[in-house]
Amino acid sequence: MTSDPQTVLKADIIVAGAGSAGLSAAIAFAQSGFSVICAGRIPAHAPGRTVALFDGSLRFYKALGLWDRFAADVAPLEKIRLIDDTGSLFRLPPVEFSAREIGYDAFGENIENDVLVSGLAEAARAQPNLNLIDSLITQVTPDSNEITVTLDDGRSLSAALLVAADGRKSIARDAAGIEVENWPYPQSALTVLLEHDQPHRDVSTEFHTRFGPCTLVPMVGRPGAPHRSSLVWLMPPHEAERRMALSDADLSAEIEKQVHCIHGPTRVVGTRGSFPMGGLKAKAFAARRIALIAETAHVFPPIGAQGLNLSLRDIASLVETVEDARASGRDIGGAETLAAYDKGRRADVAMRVRGVDALNRSLLANVLPVDFLRGAGLIALANIGPLRRALMREGVMPQGRPPRLMRDQRQKAS
């Protein structure tokens, strides 16, 4: 796209960021009839990363008519198995959660991050009402009537509402004046894709180690490689650095040892990734014509596959709030609209962030009373059916009234 840098491009909504959350939000708003500009760089290859999408997230993408483009590239998650591998005196037998126990064939589907992002970018480019601009936002200026954005190529954009999906160091969040709680963990995550000799049987297996979870997540098979999984392994940063430098054969051997060879001989394929662990929670989710979603609002370790699922609930809730504002004649970026979104997201985000934080810290603590409490909780989940089923339902979709984009009646043919 070319235009005079002095020309201000106008839309109803600007989305800052073109990752999976930003692209999803841009498509959802455009399909709702808003004019949308999505500004950002499509993320480069994310080594070894997959995304587990639970039932509510699948409903979201089906409602947008997007899921058929991904259906051949996903693996179902029929069961989730937790294995205590901390070496604690209170070591417990494995705890297994089955989707069928709460009436689902699977909790969700696992897909490579690169496949998801590239498919969303393709859909965004073809979406009417949506202008996808490959430029970074360098300045955000809100005022009482509109919000103005400056791009790194000199162009300016304006809209009634900006949706901030530009990551944990968000320029848009800073412009909104929203403060965050930010904390580090003494961990890094190693991510890699694996091939193995034995089938995963659509079971995601999470080993709870003293340095954090080590999780094997099912992937769809490929010709010549029918059994594949992704690995997310939390460990001390120096160990992540050491393992990043290993040969594929040596890293495969260490992975086999860590996961007790549950899938037989295992081979690392492709590139691997490593990134530091930290937590973040915004103290508000909207202000000054700016609404926060995804990692501008919340960041936590990859435990329980909550990250993108929580982000898609942000988007579905924001779309519903803005649609309702439009229907009633209110300003879609005004204070009343943003206050409704902020209020609607607080409980869900707080529970996920604090819950994951508590579990992660309990693994790192190496203190007998903490181990005892964690073990007692797992025993309760294993033996008290109503409690176990309530937790599974809450993990798949918070109880209560889901946003319209995550309800069955909003699904449409792809």
pLDDT, tens only, 278-298? 999 999 999 999 999 999 999
- Mean pLDDT highest for which of 5-19, 232-246, 398-412? 232-246
Residue 263 has pLDDT above 50, yes or no: yes
pLDDT in tens, 138-194: 999 999 899 999 999 999 999 999 999 999 999 999 999 999 999 999 999 999 999
Identify the pLDDT of residue 412. 41
Identify the pLDDT of residue 6. 63
Reduce the DSSP state of residue 335 to 3 states and report it.
helix
**Average predicted confidence (pLDDT) for the chain:** 91
Residue 411 has pLDDT above 60, yes or no: no
Q: 378-403 as b/e, with b when 16 or more CB fall inside 10 Å?
A: beebbeeeeebeebbbebbbbeeebb
- Beta-carbon contacts of 342 under 8 Å, excluding residues fewer than 6 positions away, are 284, 285, 286, 287
Identify the pLDDT of residue 414. 37
Reduce the DSSP state of residue 151 to 3 states and report it.
strand
| 16-20, 332-336, 349-353, 384-388: least confidently modelled range | 384-388
What is the Cα–Cα distance from 168 to 178, expressed in whole angstroms? 12
pLDDT in tens, 198-222: 999 999 999 999 999 999 999 999 9
Give pTM, 2 decimals.
0.92
Identify the pLDDT of residue 368. 64
| 83-87, 173-177, 304-308: least confidently modelled range | 304-308
Q: Which residue has the higher pLDDT, 216 or 304?
A: 216
Identify the pLDDT of residue 2. 43
Residue 236 has pLDDT above 60, yes or no: yes
- Domain boundaries 8-182+279-410, CATH class: alpha beta
Q: Which residue has the higher pLDDT, 366 or 5?
A: 366
Name the H helices within 288-367. 307-327, 335-365
Segment 37-50 mean pLDDT: 89
Segment 67-93 mean pLDDT: 88
Residue 5 has pLDDT above 60, yes or no: no
Residue 413 has pLDDT above 50, yes or no: no
Reduce the DSSP state of residue 268 to 3 states and report it.
strand
Residue 129 has pLDDT above 70, yes or no: yes
Segment 248-272 mean pLDDT: 96
Alpha-carbon dihedral angle through residues 192, 42, 186, 170, given to the nearest 10 degrees: -170
